[in-house]
């Protein structure tokens, strides 16, 4: 008996629970049910390109891009300061990733208390005699919730990438007369690129597909891509329309992953030329 056979139970599991379900998504996306018979149809895929769905799609992308860029801008200095500090930054780093370990629904829920019409912020506003503001159930609330939830996922990979940069590169650059700006843009930024890219995927994809953050902090006002899928499956119970949206999302994600791995590889090969 060879060791090969050990993989067979998982092989069966993989086919049944990974491959078949994805094929089912494709099957449901390209079929429609009419009078009890299921037949091939493009109407659900076409449904994706309706104005309402495209508007939701555009809004999701916009919020996800904003969230990713803001996370990057907030996270890079944190990672940079920690990686370049002389004290033991690893223990300090624990404090930045610790919130990651708490259930993200609870972290999102925390903002309900802060932004609620009777919440902390409105209490303070009222103290100055100003009327309460509608903070909850807005796009900004959803964006804030996303940034809050995903920020540690941007800090961690950038920090890891920065700590891997060999110190002697900086010394060599100094010997050759580089100032700190040159060092930052010629060494730090290019060599932290893998961290930025993996941070990008760890923030962008979850923020495009979230439905719980938008549902809790955005209410019915903010309909995102994830909400659309959730709505079709759990409320409308229209497996075909829901699958069509999921299918398009899968394709988009494959494309973005492909671009990112290509970019990563290109970065690696050019990294050798520096």
Partner 1 sequence: MKSLKRIYLLIIILFLYAPIFILMIASFNNSKYIGGWSGFTLDWYVQLFKDREIMSSLYVTLSMALIAAIVATILGTLAAIGINTFSKGPKALMLNISYIPVVNADIVTGVSLMLLFIFTRIPRGYFTMLLAHITFCIPYVIFAVLPRLQMTSSQYYEAALDLGAKPSYAIRKVILPDIMPGIINGALLAFTLSLDDFVVSFFTTSNVNNLSTTIYAMARRGINPKINALSTLMFIAVVLLLLLINNRTTKQEKALRKEISKS
Residues 68-97 that bind partner 1 (CB under 8 A): 74, 77-78, 81-82, 85, 91-92, 94-96
Contact string 254-273 vs partner 1 (x = CB under 8 A): ---x----------------
- Interaction with partner 1 in 151-190: which residues (CB under 8 A)? 151-152
Q: For the CB of residue 273, give the shortest distance to partner 1 in the complex, in Å.
A: 29
Based on the shown chain and the rule CB under 8 A, indicate whether residue 203 belongs to the binding site for partner 1. Answer: no
User: 35: alpha, beta or left, given left = phi > 0 and alpha = psi -120 to 50?
Assistant: left
Q: For the CB of residue 271, give the shortest distance to partner 1 in the complex, in Å.
A: 23
User: Please, which residues have CB within 8 angstroms of residue 61's CB and are 6 or more apart in sequence?
Assistant: 208
Q: Which stretch binds partner 1 (CB under 8 A): 20-28, 59-67, 171-179, 264-272?
A: 20-28
CB 148 within 8 A of CB 198: no
Tell me, by CB under 8 A, how many residues bind partner 1. 80
Based on the shown chain and the rule CB under 8 A, indicate whether residue 21 belongs to the binding site for partner 1. Answer: yes
Beta-carbon neighbour count of residue 19 at 10 Å? 10
Determine which residue in the list 135, 146, 211, 241 makes contact with partner 1, applying CB under 8 A.
211
Determine which residue in the list 69, 98, 189, 255 makes contact with partner 1, applying CB under 8 A.
98
Determine which residue in the list 48, 59, 99, 137 makes contact with partner 1, applying CB under 8 A.
99
Based on the shown chain and the rule CB under 8 A, indicate whether residue 40 belongs to the binding site for partner 1. Answer: no
Based on the shown chain and the rule CB under 8 A, indicate whether residue 216 belongs to the binding site for partner 1. Answer: yes
- Interaction with partner 1 in 220-249: which residues (CB under 8 A)? 226, 229-230, 233-234, 239, 242-243, 246, 249
Based on the shown chain and the rule CB under 8 A, indicate whether residue 106 belongs to the binding site for partner 1. Answer: yes
Based on the shown chain and the rule CB under 8 A, indicate whether residue 251 belongs to the binding site for partner 1. Answer: no
**CA-to-CA dists, residue 89 to 78, 84, 85, 171, 177, angstroms:** 11, 8, 7, 21, 28
CA distance 50 to 43: 11
Q: Which two tokens stand for residue 149?
A: 């939830």
CB 59 within 8 A of CB 143: no
Determine which residue in the list 1, 35, 87, 273 makes contact with partner 1, applying CB under 8 A.
1
Determine which residue in the list 59, 72, 109, 169 makes contact with partner 1, applying CB under 8 A.
109
Nearer to partner 1, 54 or 102 (CB): 102
CB 227 within 8 A of CB 215: yes
Print burial letters for 193-229: b (CB count within 10 Å at least 16), e (below 16): bbbbbbbbbbbbbbbbbbbbbbbbbbeeebbbbbbbb
- Interaction with partner 1 in 111-150: which residues (CB under 8 A)? 111-114, 116, 118-120, 123, 148
Q: For the CB of residue 274, give the shortest distance to partner 1 in the complex, in Å.
A: 27
Residue 34 backbone dihedrals phi, psi, to 5 degrees = -135, 125
* Start-end of H helices in 164-238: 167-175, 180-183, 189-191, 193-209, 212-218, 225-230
């Amino acid at each position: 008996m060879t060791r090969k056979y050990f993989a067979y139970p998982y092989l069966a599991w993989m086919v049944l629970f990974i491959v078949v379900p994805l094929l089912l998504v494709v099957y449901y996306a390209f079929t429609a049910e009419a009078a009890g018979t299921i037949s091939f149809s493009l109407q659900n895929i076409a449904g994706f390109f309706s104005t309402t769905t495209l508007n939701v799609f555009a809004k999701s992308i916009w919020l996800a891009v904003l969230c990713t860029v803001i996370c990057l801008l907030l996270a890079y200095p944190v990672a940079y300061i920690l990686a370049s500090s002389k004290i033991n930054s690893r223990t300090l780093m624990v404090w930045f990733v610790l919130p990651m370990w708490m259930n993200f629904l609870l972290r999102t829920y925390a903002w309900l208390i802060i932004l609620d019409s009777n919440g902390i912020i409105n209490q303070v506003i009222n103290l100055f005699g100003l009327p309460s503001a509608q903070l909850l159930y807005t796009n900004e609330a959803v964006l804030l919730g996303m940034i809050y939830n995903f920020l540690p996922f941007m800090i961690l990979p950038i920090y890891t990438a920065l700590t891997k940069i060999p110190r002697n590169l900086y010394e060599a650059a100094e010997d050759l007369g580089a100032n700190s700006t040159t060092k930052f843009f010629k060494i730090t930024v290019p060599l932290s690129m893998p961290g930025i890219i993996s941070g990008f995927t760890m923030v962008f994809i979850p923020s495009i597909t979230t439905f719980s953050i938008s549902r809790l902090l955005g209410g019915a006002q903010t309909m995102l891509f994830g909400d659309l899928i959730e709505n079709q499956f759990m409320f409308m119970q229209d497996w075909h329309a829901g699958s069509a949206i999921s299918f398009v999302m899968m394709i988009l994600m494959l494309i973005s992953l492909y671009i990112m791995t290509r970019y990563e590889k290109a970065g690696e090969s050019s990294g050798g030329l520096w």
